[in-house]
Structure 1
Amino acid sequence: MPISIDRRGFARILFAGVLLSAVDPTLAAAQGTKLFTFVSETGSIVAALTKEDAALEADAGAIGKALRERGSLTVWRYAVRKAKDGELEQAPLAKISIQAQGTLRVEPYRTPLRVVPME
């Protein structure tokens, strides 16, 4: 018995194929490192928490609360770089301290780029 697919069915199959081909397995594997934007009056930085503060990563509100309570947090600043394979990626740049004074908000940061985990 031949299989018949109407236009909507064909469009759904085509769309699913495009989605599956667009998913990069390295991107999904590296998403264990969660990035956040720390916004101040003068600018913003993209950073990830250190391993010591990994429990806070679930929520930007928890990070903001810990920052207020402690007065500062040590984080890994992330920046875009070109990987050896030629693709762009978000990679750790330097370990820095974020001060509570002057920090306006903490936001989750989403990137289409591969995220290099901290070592």
Structure 2
Amino acid sequence: MESTVIQPAFAADKVSLFKVITSKDEIVIGMTDDELARLEGNNAGGIAKMLVAKGSMSVWQYAVRKAPTGDLEQAPLRQVGLIASESLRVEPYASPLKIVPIGDGKK
């Protein structure tokens, strides 16, 4: 199975969040504008098309954490692999929290 790896981005890159839903669970992933620009469709549909075409891809999983200031924020948790599946759905995810860029996630 061929795999596409989405590389970590520089801190200045804006991150868009998406919810990936399967029959078992759901996770939130983040992709930079640069990563999205390389996909056909530049949106959730582009991610779905990439998964169908390549079979799998690596992305950053995002989760809520507490910032040093005490505020909640969406931050990169770990890199995960997504595998194409019939029960998979990808949709935009809107968060009222600050979104931490991928390069800043380990602070």
Unaligned runs of 5+ in 2: 1-11
Cα gap change, 1:103/1:75 in structure 2, threshold over 3 Å: closer, same or farther? farther
Cα gap change, 1:41/1:105 in structure 2, threshold over 3 Å: closer, same or farther? same
Q: Which residue of 2 aligns with 1:109?
A: 93
Of structures 1 and 2, the larger Rg is shown by 1
Matched, 1:73 2:57: yes
CA distance in 1, matches of 2:90, 2:45: 7
Kindly indicate whether the alpha-carbon contact (under 8 Å) linking 2:44 and 2:91 is maintained by their aligned counterparts in 1: yes
Match of 2:30 among 23, 48, 51: 48
Unaligned runs of 5+ in 1: 1-29
CA distance in 2, matches of 1:31, 1:111: 17
CA distance in 2, matches of 1:52, 1:97: 19
User: Whose strand proportion is higher, 1 or 2?
Assistant: 2
TM-score of the pair, normalised by structure 2: 0.75
CA distance in 2, matches of 1:78, 1:36: 9
Kindly indicate whether the alpha-carbon contact (under 8 Å) linking 1:49 and 1:74 is maintained by their aligned counterparts in 2: no
**Percentage identity across paired residues of the two chains:** 46
Kindly indicate whether the alpha-carbon contact (under 8 Å) linking 2:30 and 2:59 is maintained by their aligned counterparts in 1: yes
CA RMSD across the alignment: 2.3
CA distance in 2, matches of 1:82, 1:53: 26
Matched, 1:36 2:18: yes
Q: Given residue 51 of structure 2, which amino acid in structure 1 is its aligned partner?
A: L
SS at match of 2:78: strand
Cα gap change, 1:103/1:47 in structure 2, threshold over 3 Å: closer, same or farther? farther
Q: Which residue of 2 aligns with 1:59?
A: 43
Q: Which has the higher contact order (CA 8 A, sep 6+)?
A: 2
Task: Give 1:48 shift.
Answer: 1.3
Superposed CA deviations along residues 24-82 of structure 1, whole A, max 9, x for unmatched, are xxxxxx89200000000001000013687332383111110111100001100000000
TM-score of the pair, normalised by structure 1: 0.68
Q: Given residue 99 of structure 1, which amino acid in structure 2 is its aligned partner?
A: I
CA distance in 1, matches of 2:33, 2:57: 12
